[in-house]
């Protein structure tokens, strides 16, 4: 059994122990997270914001199980990490595309520019931080895992999703809140990409 480090580690181990008893592999749990994400996308297409929010949160919780099960069962693999990262991107973009359709179908105040522009900026900000870190490693510029962790940024994926989920809940009461949160997250996500670029530049010797 793995030794837990801190409350978060203890919780992860407990989750892994419980769900490992079901007998599904970590990669299966990763793929299963796509199901509520697709259903959440459909819910947003049909203007069910709260249901869509719940389903995307459920997708995130399902995704969290795979890593916990992998660590407890000793099934951590490079392919599993790769698959997890790819599915994470699909789930997140499904949510943003669903929000784009939802905001198009429902009257919501614009903030300086159309909703579609904010969603495009949000998608760009969601993808670029991950791409920068992966490409820096691929090109041999930043290869130390500790440096990957230090790359960080003002708004990483967990914080980004937490804010979007909060905006979706608040949007149930007033769509302006959802628009404001999307705009803030879009800006901060792209600032994170810039932060990572500046971090990588420290390793380049001209």
Q: For residue 87, name the pLDDT band (cuts at 50, 70, 90).
A: very high
Say whether pLDDT at 179 is over 90. yes
Give the tens place of pLDDT for each residue, 106-122: 888 888 889 899 999 99
What is the band of 138 on the pLDDT scale with cuts at 50, 70, 90? confident
The domain locations on the chain are 10-79, 107-206
* pLDDT at residue 205, rounded to an integer: 61
Cα–Cα distance for residue pair 76/4, rounded to 1 Å: 16
Condensed to tens digits (0 to 9), the pLDDT of residues 34-80 reads: 999 999 999 999 999 999 999 999 999 888 888 788 877 777 788 88
pLDDT bin (cut points 50, 70, 90) of residue 9 is low
Q: Mean pLDDT across the stretch 197-205? A: 82
């Amino acid at each position: 059994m793995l030794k837990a480090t801190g409350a978060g580690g203890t919780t992860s181990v407990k989750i892994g122990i419980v769900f490992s008893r079901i007998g599904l592999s970590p990669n299966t749990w990763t793929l299963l997270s796509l199901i509520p994400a697709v259903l959440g996308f459909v819910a947003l297409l049909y203007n069910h914001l709260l249901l869509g929010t719940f389903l995307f949160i459920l997708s995130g919780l399902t995704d969290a199980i795979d890593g916990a099960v992998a660590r407890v069962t000793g099934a951590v693999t490079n392919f599993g990490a790769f698959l997890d990262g790819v599915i994470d991107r699909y789930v997140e973009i499904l949510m943003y595309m669903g929000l784009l359709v939802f905001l198009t179908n429902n009257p919501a105040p614009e903030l300086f520019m159309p909703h579609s522009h904010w969603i495009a900026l949000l998608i760009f900000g969601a993808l670029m931080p991950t791409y920068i870190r992966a490409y820096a490693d691929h090109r041999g510029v930043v290869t130390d895992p500790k440096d990957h962790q230090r790359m960080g940024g003002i708004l990483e994926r967990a914080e980004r999703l937490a804010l979007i989920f909060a905006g979706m809940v608040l949007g149930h009461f007033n769509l302006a809140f959802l628009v404001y949160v999307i705009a803030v997250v879009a800006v901060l996500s792209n600032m994170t990409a810039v932060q990572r670029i500046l971090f990588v530049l420290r390793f380049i010797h001209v």
